[in-house]
Structure 1
Amino acid sequence: MSNSISDFCAQILKLNRGIRFAGIANNEGKLAGPAYRPGLVPLLTQKASEISVLQSLIRADTRRGLEKSSAGRCSPTPATRRERG
């Protein structure tokens, strides 16, 4: 793990107190230099964080593929929930 990556992640945490975690991932979802806000219990284990990053990479790749197809550029749509019944 590079000190520059760890330092960069620590600097990200300083940008906003609402940021709990910062990390750099490679294209396989492996985290380098993850940083957690001191004094907080992480919501995910490092393994769960890597899985989450990998899922994000897959979604991003899917969006890029759709944008290149005839479907055109994707625009995010907020999700809404309906009441059951």
Structure 2
Amino acid sequence: MDSKFGFKNSSETTSLECNEILSLDNSIRFVAMCSKEGKMLNVKYREDITPLLNDKELLYSIIKSVERINVRKESEEKLGPAIYSVTAYANVKRVTIPVNGGGVFFVSFEGNGNEFTILKKILGQINQPKSNQIYS
């Protein structure tokens, strides 16, 4: 067992971690974990959810998000490490969260979910870069 949100590890560990994040708020639709290279480690959906993207679309979306995270790294020397990125769509909101071990969390939640309340819960659980304070 390798993780507690640092990754590299087994699918059993990432499954437990996805479940832990999924249980933090009722508006969370799904949690995905992937490596810094974009390799999918685990995906968990809330039981009553029908995915909006098929597997191929989800993988493509995650790979593109990982690419954007890697582009942001170019500014980290001056701006500090990225803490999270939120994208609000008409139907859902999605948060991308890099973690210390080099992995990435993707969390999607209902469009009416309060992203700052949910982010506080998630960031309270995740091993993140220093200076990960959220103010609301």
TM-score (norm 1): 0.69
Give the number of the structure whose residues are more often helix, by fraction. 1
Change (3 A) 1:28 1:67: closer
Runs (5+) with no aligned partner, structure 2: 1-9, 86-136
Q: Which structure has more RCO (C-alpha within 8 Å, separation ≥ 6)?
A: 2
Q: CA RMSD in A?
A: 2.4
Name the counterpart of 1:73.
79
Percent identical residues? 32
**2:46 corresponds to which of 37, 47, 60:** 37
- Distance, in Å, in 1 between the alignment partners of 2:51 and 2:36 is 23
Of Structure 1 and Structure 2, the greater strand share is in 2
What count of residue pairs does the alignment treat as equivalent? Answer: 73
Alignment of 1:6-85 (within 5 A): 6-68=15-77, 72-73=78-79
Question: Unaligned regions of 5+ residues in structure 1, if any?
Answer: 77-85
TM-score by length of 2: 0.46
Offset from partner CA, 1:7-63 (integer Å, 9 cap, x none): 110111100111111111013322112101101101112222221111111111112
Q: Distance in 2 between matches of 1:60 and 1:5?
A: 21
Larger Rg: 1
Partner amino acid, structure 2, of 1:36? Y
